Amino acid sequence: MAQQIRLEVVTPTGAVVDDDVDIVNAPGYGGDFGVLANHAPFLSTVKIGLLTFEKGSSRESLMISGGFCEVSNNKITFLVESAEYGKQIDVDRAMKAKERAEKRLAQISQSTDSINRARAEAALQRALARIKASKAM
Amino acid sequence: MPSLKEVHTKIQGVKKTAQITKAMNMVASAKLRGAQEKMEAFRPYTAKFNEAMSNLSGGANTTNFPLMEVREIHTVELVVVTSDRGLCGSFNSNIVRMVEKKIAAYEAEGKTVSLVCVGKKGFQPLRKTGKVRKQFLDIMGSFQMFNAREIATDVANNFLAGNADKVEIVYGEFKSVAIQQPVLKHFLPVQPVVEEEAPEKKISGEYIYEPSTEEIMDVLQPLYLNVMVYAAMLEVGASEHAARMTAMDNATNACKEIVDNLTIVYNKARQAAITAELMDIVGGAEALK
């Protein structure tokens, strides 16, 4: 059996994943990255997006919102504000959230309200990540 | 001597009060369990977070971050975290008293103090000092990370704007179900995290950082503040319920005691009434002879 790496996904409401896996793919600051067993120590911020990992023949995907991740001692830890399994995501709700965020963005784009725009953009990204995570199943 | 009816009404009233306090005690203990679980769930997050922070501060040059800037202290801000609801003993008033003492001490040194109140029961007594800069009320019931972020961001911006040279946070620490204590912790400027144990895994120099350590620090520091505020709120949440449990237990016991005493008074009054009636009857019978 191939070597595995320990994956931990920790949110403020508890650990979501704590498992030995073969490969982890995550949305890093400078683009997506993959981590295999015995990776060098590594620390990166992560964006809102899709975290996937493979274990044997099974493949799971999670929607994560921003945070950071650390790799050390053959262990990869994600500290994120929220993480949801693709299969647990309510697609209809995510779709509605996406529409809402798009509408709000369209309204805001004329004005110079940067805080609200950032908020709406973050909401849109979260919705998109959720939809992607649920489709990746 | 009060009349029988009066005593009876009073006993019924106190018993009703005891019922309410008993119920509140049980509600508080149920909620305490939830709050404690929430706190436990958050613990691994803080542990990991501090680990990463200390790894980073080991490798990064931490002097030129605005959130870490150490200035001469003219103004101090206190973030006061209390509960939104009362009836929990001296829990909130202990925190308020500590804040008042702290204000007096700082003002004696000639520093200006401003306050940020989280929770109604801190805001209400402290409002009259006129120092409250901002308040966050009615969020302690069910708060989430984003509530903490809102508070942390506001305080951090105020610090960055130069309106406060030092920020401290005061909240009720949850020591155990029986003990809750007001504590004061340093908040801003951010101090480098120093980890005492585990010196053997000093591999921070070999870390690959993406983006640079400086940019990561820029992201992590505000997050660190969020984590601190959130942790304080969790502690207060659990402490509030624990304090209410104790307070309500005491209240229920006090009610029982009053009922016992009143029952004695009631029995005495009844006995006196019976004796008086007997005397009447005996007196009447005596007169008929």
- pLDDT tens sequence across B92-131: 999 999 999 999 999 999 899 999 999 999 999 999 888 8
Residue in B88, B169, B170, B236 annotated catalytic: B88
Contact B210 A45 (CB under 8 A): yes
How far A109 CA sits from the closest chain B CA (Å)?
23
Mutation to test the A interface, candidates B202, B207, B219, most A Cβ within 10 Å: B207
Contact B216 A10 (CB under 8 A): no
pLDDT score of B262 = 94
Please check whether the two domains, B4-16+247-284 and B26-246, share a CATH topology: no
What is the C-alpha to C-alpha distance for residues B256 and B66, in angstroms, rounded to an integer? 58
Q: What is the mean pLDDT of the segment spanning B45-63? A: 72
On whether both A78 and A101 belong to a single domain, the answer is no
On whether both A31 and A68 belong to a single domain, the answer is yes
On whether both A55 and A108 belong to a single domain, the answer is no
DSSP classification of residue A110 = T
Number of structural domains chain A divides into? 2
On whether both A15 and A82 belong to a single domain, the answer is yes
Q: In chain B, where are the structural domains located?
A: 4-16+247-284, 26-246
Residue B197, token pair as written in the block: 């144990």
Residue A94, token pair as written in the block: 């995510």
How far A106 CA sits from the closest chain B CA (Å)?
24
Question: How many beta-carbon pairs below 8 A join chains A and B?
Answer: 72
- pLDDT tens sequence across B40-52: 888 888 888 887 7
- pLDDT tens sequence across B154-169: 999 999 888 889 999 9
| Residue range of the domain that includes A45 | 5-86
Of B207, B211, B215, nearest to A41 by CB-CB distance is: B207
Give A-chain residues touching B230 at CB under 8 angstroms: 12
On whether both A62 and A18 belong to a single domain, the answer is yes
The CATH number covering residue A42 comes to: 2.60.15.10
Q: Per residue in A3-21, is it b (16+ CB within 10 Å) or e — as a string?
A: ebbebbbbbbbeebbeeeb
Residue A18, H or E segment? strand A14-21
Beta bridge partners of A20: A6
Nearest chain A residue (CA) to B55: A43
On whether both A81 and A118 belong to a single domain, the answer is no
Higher pLDDT, B201 or B193: B193
Please count the helices (runs of H) and the strands (runs of E) in chain A: 2, 10
Contact A79 B52 (CB under 8 A): yes
Chain A residues near any Cβ of chain B (below 8 Å): 8, 10-15, 28-30, 33, 40-45, 67-68, 70, 72-73, 77, 79, 81
Give A-chain residues touching B223 at CB under 8 angstroms: 67-68
pLDDT class of B198 with cuts at 50, 70, 90: very low
In the predicted model, is pLDDT for residue B195 greater than 60?
Answer: no
Query: Chain A within 8 Å of B39 (Cβ-Cβ)?
Result: no
| Count of CA atoms in the C-beta half-sphere (13 A) of A133 | 31
Contact A30 B230 (CB under 8 A): no
pLDDT class of B199 with cuts at 50, 70, 90: very low
What is the C-alpha to C-alpha distance for residues A9 and A17, in angstroms, rounded to an integer? 5
pLDDT score of B229 = 92
pLDDT score of A101 = 84
On whether both A95 and A77 belong to a single domain, the answer is no
How far A98 CA sits from the closest chain B CA (Å)?
20
Collapsed DSSP state (helix, strand, coil) of residue B12: helix
Q: Decide if B117 is catalytic.
A: no
Share of chain A residues as helix, strand and coil, in percent rounded to the nearest 5: 30, 45, 25
Give B-chain residues touching A44 at CB under 8 angstroms: 209-211, 216
pLDDT score of B210 = 75
Query: Chain A within 8 Å of B65 (Cβ-Cβ)?
Result: no
Residues 6+ apart with CB under 8 A from B32: B177, B238, B241, B242, B245
DSSP classification of residue A74 = T
On whether both A9 and A62 belong to a single domain, the answer is yes
Q: What is the mean pLDDT of the segment spanning B15-21? A: 95
On whether both A54 and A114 belong to a single domain, the answer is no
Q: What is the mean pLDDT of the segment spanning B232-259? A: 94
Nearest chain B residue (CA) to A31: B210
In the predicted model, is pLDDT for residue B2 greater than 80?
Answer: no
Domain range B26-246, CATH architecture: 3-Layer(aba) Sandwich (3.40)
On whether both A32 and A58 belong to a single domain, the answer is yes
pLDDT score of B55 = 72
The CATH number covering residue A123 comes to: 1.20.5
In the predicted model, is pLDDT for residue B5 greater than 80?
Answer: yes
Q: What is the mean pLDDT of the segment spanning A18-30? A: 89
Tell me how far CA of residue B70 lies from CA of A52, B56, B179, B192, in angstroms: 42, 19, 35, 12
In the predicted model, is pLDDT for residue B200 greater than 80?
Answer: no
Give A-chain residues touching B56 at CB under 8 angstroms: 43
Residues 6+ apart with CB under 8 A from B35: B234, B237, B238, B240, B241
Domain range B4-16+247-284, CATH architecture: Orthogonal Bundle (1.10)
In the predicted model, is pLDDT for residue B1 greater than 80?
Answer: no
Contact A40 B45 (CB under 8 A): no
- pLDDT tens sequence across A86-131: 777 888 888 888 888 888 888 776 666 677 777 777 888 888 888 8
On whether both A98 and A36 belong to a single domain, the answer is no
What is the C-alpha to C-alpha distance for residues B106 and B184, in angstroms, rounded to an integer? 14
In the predicted model, is pLDDT for residue A12 greater than 60?
Answer: yes
Collapsed DSSP state (helix, strand, coil) of residue A11: strand
What is the full DSSP assignment across A44-73?
EEE-SEEEEEEETTEEEEEEE-SEEEEEET
On whether both A120 and A62 belong to a single domain, the answer is no
Q: What is the mean pLDDT of the segment spanning B58-72? A: 70
Mutation to test the B interface, candidates A33, A45, A71, most B Cβ within 10 Å: A45
Mutation to test the B interface, candidates A8, A9, A10, A80, most B Cβ within 10 Å: A10
In the predicted model, is pLDDT for residue A26 greater than 80?
Answer: yes
What is the C-alpha to C-alpha distance for residues A84 and A6, in angstroms, rounded to an integer? 19
**What is the pLDDT of chain B when averaged over all its residues?**
86
